[in-house]
Structure 1
Amino acid sequence: MLHIRVSTPAAAALVAVVLLLTTGGQVSEVAYGRAVAPATQPSAATTGSAYLATHLYFGTGRHNGQPPITDEQFMKFVADVITPRFPSGLTIQQGRGQWRDRSGSINREISYELTVLYPTREARAHNRDIEYIRALYCSMYGLESVGRADVNAQADF
Structure 2
Amino acid sequence: MHAGRVLITGLWLLVLAAGLPGGAQAQGGLSCRAEASPMARVELFFGLQRQDGTLVGEAEWAAFLDQEVTPRFPDGLSVFTARGQWRHDTGRIARETSKMLVILYQPSAESEAAIEAIRAAYKEGFDQESVMRLDGSSCVSF
TM-score, with structure 2 as normaliser: 0.71
Q: Alignment partner for residue 96 of structure 1, among 83, 99, 102?
A: 83
Q: Residue 146 of structure 1 aligns with which residue?
A: 131
1:107 Cα deviation (Å)?
3.6
TM-score, with structure 1 as normaliser: 0.65
1:100 Cα deviation (Å)?
6.0
Q: Alignment partner for residue 49 of structure 2, among 33, 56, 61?
A: 61
Q: Specify whether residues 81 and 89 from structure 1 end up closer, same or farther in structure 2 by C-alpha distance, changes over 3 A only.
A: same
Q: Alignment partner for residue 129 of structure 1, among 114, 130, 133?
A: 114
Q: Residue 115 of structure 1 aligns with which residue?
A: 102
Q: Distance in 2 between matches of 1:88 and 1:102?
A: 41
1:153 Cα deviation (Å)?
1.5
What is the Cα-based RMSD across aligned positions, in Å? 2.7
The amino acid of 1:85's aligned partner reads: R
Q: Distance in 1 between matches of 2:103 and 2:79?
A: 9
Gaps of 5+ in 1: 1-13, 25-44
Gaps of 5+ in 2: 12-31
Q: Distance in 1 between matches of 2:50 and 2:87?
A: 13
Q: Residue 37 of structure 2 aligns with which residue?
A: 49
* Bigger helix share: 1
Q: Specify whether residues 126 and 106 from structure 1 end up closer, same or farther in structure 2 by C-alpha distance, changes over 3 A only.
A: farther
8 Å Cα contact 1:52/1:123 also seen in 2 = no
Q: How many residues align?
A: 117
